[in-house]
């Protein structure tokens, strides 16, 4: 079993927010803003498909995808702290997404965290790779 730390807790909590946003029927702008506040203004992402997103693209994705995946479940496992310093950390994890009536998808993900001056953890970069 993986020991808990603040980065692992944040990965789990952020995925709970993502799941709730994508699966939910409610399109509350405050909830979306709260979710997006977890990501750095300099955020970048490489999706499993190779598509690259910045914070503007991520914002557009979440805004458009509200409630688009009813019944979505996300399982996060195999969390590993790859690097940690006063500036932030690098965490890898395995993610399985499932939705009623659809095949599950599985990916390895690596998130780079920035520690903000006020102590918040911000997602600076996310790289996802399909598990085949």
How many whole angstroms separate alpha carbon 23 and alpha carbon 75? 14
Lowest mean pLDDT among 17-31, 40-54, 97-111: 17-31
Q: Facing residues of 92 across strands? A: 80, 110
State pTM to two decimals: 0.93
Query: What pLDDT does 3 receive?
Result: 57
Query: What pLDDT does 26 receive?
Result: 75
pLDDT more than 70, % of the chain: 97
| pLDDT tens figures, 98-132 | 999 999 999 999 999 999 999 899 999 999 999 98
| pLDDT, the chain, mean | 95
∠ at Cα 35 (114, 21), nearest 5°? 140
Average pLDDT over residues 46-54: 96
Query: What pLDDT does 1 receive?
Result: 45
Structure tokens at 68: 């688009």
Query: What pLDDT does 20 receive?
Result: 95
**Which residues touch 104 (CB under 8 Å, ≥6 apart)?**
96, 97, 98
Selected residue with higher pLDDT from 31 and 2: 31
Query: What pLDDT does 25 receive?
Result: 74
């Amino acid at each position: 079993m993986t020991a808990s730390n603040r980065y692992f807790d944040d990965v789990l909590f952020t995925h709970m927010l993502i799941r709730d946003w994508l699966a939910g029927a409610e399109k509350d702008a405050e909830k979306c803003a709260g979710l997006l506040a977890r990501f750095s203004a300099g955020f970048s992402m490489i999706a499993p498909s190779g598509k690259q997103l910045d914070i503007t693209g991520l914002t557009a994705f979440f805004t458009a995808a509200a409630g688009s995946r009813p019944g979505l479940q996300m399982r996060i496992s195999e969390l590993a702290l790859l690097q940690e310093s006063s500036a932030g950390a690098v965490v890898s994890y395995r993610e399985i997404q499932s939705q009623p009536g659809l095949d599950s998808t599985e990916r390895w993900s690596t998130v780079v965290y920035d520690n903000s001056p006020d102590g918040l953890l911000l997602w600076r970069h996310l790289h996802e790779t399909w598990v085949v």
